[in-house]
Amino acid sequence: MLPICTFADIHFTQKPDSNLIKQLLDSGYVMESINPQAALNIYAEANQISKKINYVLGQAKAQHYSGIVYSDRSEYQSALMRYQKAMKLYQQINYKRGIGACYTNMGNLFRYQGKLDSALAYHQFAINFFKQSSQLDGLSMAYGNAGGIFQQMKQFEKANNYFTQAVNAAAQVNDSLSLCRALINKGTALNDLKKYDESVKINIQALKIAELLQDDYGLQLANINFADHYKRKKQYARAIQFGLKGLHYAQKLSTPYDVADIKKRIGDLYLENGNFAKAKTFYLEAIELSEKIKATEISATVYTSLHKLYAATADYKPAYNYQTLAQQYQDSILGEKQLKIINELEVKYQSLQKDKELAQQQLQLEKSRQYVIYSIGAFLIALLVVLLLYLYFNYKGKIYHKQLKAVQQEKEIQVLQALMQGEEKERTRIARDLHDEVAGMLAAAKMHMNSLVLQAQEIIQHKGYHQVVDLLDEASVSVRKTAHNLMPEVLMQHGLDKALCRFCNNISNDKLLVVQYDSWGDIGRFAAEFELSVYRIVQELLNNTIKHAHATEAIVQLSYQGNVLSITIEDYGVGINLNNLSEEGMGMHSLRSRVNALQGKIDVSSDVGQGVSVYLEFDTTECTVESVREEITR
């Protein structure tokens, strides 16, 4: 490996400017495949110089390219942080290509980690953005990425539709590289749909373009597709040849995700060909790499193949163990809940697209009307009348935009409320299953253990008997505690005031964090959904205090007066710098969304070393038990 290098100690003969930044970025790109750490050092230097000369595009590209290096090294959290910083900088200068690329890169990050719902959301953001900005090469890539998600979920018709749109977009812009990638993806979808002849024709066309462009990635994908083709025809020796060619290009590109995936595929070919030793070697190499980069979906498929391998050799114990591992990994990737979320995202996205097209048509119609009226008025009447008409329609346009914004905000609130209700329903179901089924089975198990003493008195002398009874007791307590945390019983029976008081007392600890709870006013019962949502918000804020504030004291104050419910949560910890927007992460953004969904207000005040104070306020006019009953009887 080459030694790590940096530009920090180089004395430049030219004054730092945008040309110097471009030279540094080009140098970093060259070093990415040779020495990734050296590339990161160069990008860091480019970022520092860009800040000094206030070159925002240079800062954005340095952060963006650093994210790509971290992604290639499977350091996904570091990569995500760089992409988010780059996105903000690109948005400052409205650099559209960079914004779309960041959406795409973030989607790929979540796909590598098996988080397919988040991956699909970002790829659909990319599609929408590239459409708006008329970037057809980027649009082709975004369609391909979205199709890949549906292909991974075995929804092959949807995948083929997205890949077809990717081919059309690439063809419109005459981008050979994008067309090559789009054709390769479409070939795989046609193969999945058992349209084998069409698939082969498409792959031959893609391979020719990749060879002409000397595109290593395209050559990798095309060879793997041909390996799959010959595998289907049971010509395993020919398939292995193409698989090894694909592996060569993947290793040349130093992409661990692809290397792990291709090694698993080659292992499958050797297994089908009866060469169990070779198959095992490739499987073990694939699982070592996939576990290292946390590629969950690849690990699941490799464990499934190892199960088949050991079953074929009649070694059933490891075969069973690998089958269990494969099932656990597969459940974590494509459980029914995640599939439902992904399909809902697709439906919502298509609905938003239709609404957007309708809004654009209405806006165009409104502009046309204004133009006609303005022209007729300018021709027929005096300057004063023309001016009055202009002011009138300008005012009308502002009213229209305000109404449109209000409708959009209402839709967002409805979506948030639906998501929160779905989440609480799932919590309730899990809590009920734990309390009614698992706790009941544990109680029955303990009863049977106790009955053994009546049948054989000597068993009570055994240490193992007491250990089993103690473990059953601990498990029962743990199940009840988990069920109560998921759906607090005191909240359902006694209301918000008692539930928050009980929660504060439970987490209060004289040695770690003392939580003082106070309440004022005649606090009665509210609608169950409102009480549960407010309880979750306060619970999340106190959890943040425990995890981040390093405080020894905290105060929760609940006040109810004139149909206004106000809550204050304060701690005396390290505080946060509100001037630094990066201090407010996804958790606080989620809390603000929940409060907005309840038509409430939230105010956060803090400074470094001064603790944090959060004030919440809700109008409960429509949330009291009486108002809910009146609404039902109408």
The more confidently predicted of residues 327 and 446 is 327
Radius of gyration from C-alpha coordinates of the chain: 31
Q: What is the mean predicted confidence (pLDDT) over 549-563?
A: 90
> Does position 614 have pLDDT exceeding 50, yes or no?
yes
In our burial notation (b when 16+ CB lie closer than 10 A, e otherwise), range 428-439 reads eeebeebbeebb
Which residues, in sequence order, are CB contacts of 439 under 8 Å at separation 6+? Answer: 476, 479, 480, 483
Average pLDDT, the chain: 81
Which domains are seen in the chain, by residue range?
Answer: 15-94 (1.25.40.10), 353-487 (no CATH), 489-631 (3.30.565.10)
**Which residues, in sequence order, are CB contacts of 202 under 8 Å at separation 6+?**
183, 184, 186, 187, 190
| Distance of alpha carbon 158 from alpha carbon 148, whole angstroms | 10
Spatial distance between the Cα atoms of 548 and 542, rounded to a whole number of angstroms: 10
Task: Please report where in the chains the tokens 């055994």 appear, as a residue.
Answer: 462
* Separation of alpha carbons 554 and 569, rounded Å: 7
Ordered strands of the 553-561 beta sheet: 514-520, 553-561, 564-571, 612-619, 601-606
DSSP SS3 for 617: strand
Q: Output the CA torsion sign for 261, 267, 268, 269.
A: positive
Q: Which of 15-19, 258-262, 349-353 has the lowest mean pLDDT?
A: 349-353
Q: In this predicted structure, what is the pLDDT of residue 247?
A: 93
Question: Which residues does 243 contact at the CB level (< 8 Å), separation at least 6?
Answer: 223, 224, 227, 262, 265, 266, 269
* Cα of 106 vs its chain's centroid, Å: 9
Amino acid letter, 624? T
> In the predicted model, is pLDDT for residue 249 greater than 70?
yes
In this predicted structure, the answer to whether residue 586 has a pLDDT above a threshold of 80 is: no
Strand partners of residue 619: 564
Res. 8: pLDDT tops 60:
no
| Mean pLDDT within 249-256 | 87
Give the chain's largest Cα–Cα span. Answer: 112
- pLDDT tens-digit profile of 175-229? 888 888 889 889 888 988 888 888 888 888 888 888 888 888 889 988 888 898 8
Instruction: Provide the pLDDT confidence category of residue 314 given band limits of 50, 70 and 90.
Output: confident
501 with 519: CB under 8 angstroms? Answer: yes
> What is the enclosing helix (H) or strand (E) of 514?
strand 514-520
pLDDT higher than 50, residue 628: no
CA–CA distance from 600 to each of 347, 357, 569 (Å)? Answer: 29, 32, 15
For the chain, what percent of residues have pLDDT higher than 70? 82
pLDDT band at 3 (very low <50, low <70, confident <90, very high): very low
In degrees rounded to 5, what are phi and psi of residue 553?
-140, 145
Two tokens, residue 223: 């060879």
Per-position b or e across 214-240, b if 16+ CB within 10 A of its CB: ebebbbbbbbbbbbbbbbeeeebebbb
Q: End-to-end distance of the chain based on CA atoms, in angstroms?
A: 76
Please determine, for residue 485, whether its predicted confidence score (pLDDT) is greater than 90: no
| Amino acid identity at 126 | A
Residue pLDDT, tens place only, 90-143: 999 999 889 999 999 999 999 888 888 888 899 999 999 988 888 888 898 889
For residue 10, what pLDDT band results from cuts at 50, 70 and 90? very low
Residue 631 pLDDT grade (very low, low, confident, very high; cuts 50, 70, 90):
very low
How many CA atoms does the CB half-sphere of 449 hold within 13 Å? 18
* Lowest mean per-residue pLDDT among 246-250, 333-337, 627-631: 627-631
Question: 301 is written with which tokens?
Answer: 């498929």
Q: What is the pLDDT of residue 346?
A: 62
Torsion of CA 278, 282, 284, 290, to 10 degrees: -170
576-604 average pLDDT score: 76
Helix (H, G, I), strand (E, B) or coil at 512: coil
3-state secondary structure of 487: coil
Contact call for residues 281 and 287 (beta carbons, < 8 A): no
Angle value at C-alpha 343, between 338 and 344, nearest 5 degrees: 95
In this prediction, residue 632 has a pLDDT band, given cuts at 50, 70 and 90, of very low
Q: Which residue has the higher pLDDT, 491 or 10?
A: 491
> Under DSSP, is residue 624 helix (H, G, I), strand (E, B) or coil?
strand
Q: What is the mean pLDDT of residues 508-521?
A: 88
Residue 468: strand, helix, or coil: helix
Whether the pLDDT of residue 565 is over 90: the answer is yes
pLDDT of residue 589: 78
Question: Does the structure show a pLDDT above 60 at 294?
Answer: yes
Q: What is the DSSP letter of 462?
A: -
Can you tell me the mean pLDDT for 16-26? Answer: 87
Residues facing residue 566 across a β-bridge: 559, 617
pLDDT higher than 80, residue 581? no
The pLDDT value recorded for residue 2 is: 29
| pLDDT number for residue 422 | 67
For residues 329-348, average pLDDT: 60
Indicate the helix (H) or strand (E) that contains 558.
strand 553-561
Residue with tokens 């390219």: 65
Predicted confidence band at 270 (pLDDT cuts at 50, 70, 90)? very high
> The pTM is what?
0.43
Q: What is the DSSP string of 345-360?
A: HHHHHHHHHHHHHHHH
Question: Average pLDDT in the 491-507 region?
Answer: 87
pLDDT in tens, 371-413: 778 778 777 888 888 788 888 888 877 887 777 776 675 676 5
Whole-angstrom CA distances from 403 to 79, 408, 409, 548 are 39, 9, 10, 41
The runs of H, that is alpha helices, within 4-95 are 18-32, 36-52, 56-72, 76-93
The model's confidence at residue 556, banded by pLDDT at 50, 70 and 90, is very high
